[in-house]
Chains A and B, each alone.
Chain A
Amino acid sequence: AQSVTQLGSHVSVSEGALVLLRCNYSSSVPPYLFWYVQYPNQGLQLLLKYTSAATLVKGINGFEAEFKKSETSFHLTKPSAHMSDAAEYFCAVSVPGTASKLTFGTGTRLQVTL
């Protein structure tokens, strides 16, 4: 079965600093990987996805993630944090043939300070 590990339940960065949120996955077959963002009292919104095309994936709001098979990682980055980026971020994995079922990590709450 597939799984996702997000390192760091809370990450704090200064406005303008680099954002790095870590995600490692486990899967016996080539996976599909997703990053979702959740703002307070809202549902989840897709940031970006990896579906075996380009390994560097660009998403919305300036975020990007790089799929590294050798490291089984899919870390999320943004060069310069903005106050509006404060939210909870979830990494998720699905594999072909499993009816689109997503397995989520436990989430990382991003705090952006002045």
Chain B
Amino acid sequence: NAGVTQTPKFQVLKTGQSMTLQCAQDMNHEYMSWYRQDPGMGLRLIHYSVGAGITDQGEVPNGYNVSRSTTEDFPLRLLSAAPSQTSVYFCASSYSPGGAGQPQHFGDGTRLSIL
């Protein structure tokens, strides 16, 4: 099993450009989520999904869009990149969407710089 796979690993964008961060998991997990990690701030939830066709906003959703057409994939779209979106982005998945204490499995992250 590959677990949670994120692509690309690194990306540099110019302000105003758009892009999609890819996330795929092969564990048949219902729950998937996107976090951003910034120095001194821990990880903050951007968007999450409890199953195909169902998404919701997290703590910092502005400027990001998601969709979940399959169980395996959960792409994150930056609509118009801004320097404030320079961060490390992590995708995670877990078995249970019901807060039943299942741990989340994390990808290795995408390091994104916006110039």
Number of interface residues of B (CB under 8 A): 31
Nearest CB of chain B from residue A63's CB, rounded to whole Å? 14
> In the complex, A42 Cα to B6 Cα: how many Å?
12
Chain B residues, Cβ within 8 Å of A9: 40
Q: Beta-carbon contacts of B26-51 to A below 8 Å, as 1s and 0s?
A: 00000101010000111111001010
Quick check: A101 and B42 within 8 Å, CB to CB?
A: no
> Which of chain A's residues has its CB closest to B32's CB?
A100
Q: Does B2 count as interface, using CB distance less than 8 angstroms?
A: no
Quick check: A101 and B101 within 8 Å, CB to CB?
A: no
Pick from B58, B102, B103, B106: contact of A101, CB below 8 A: B58
Residues of A within 8 A of B (CB): 9, 32, 34, 36, 41-46, 49, 51-52, 90, 94-107
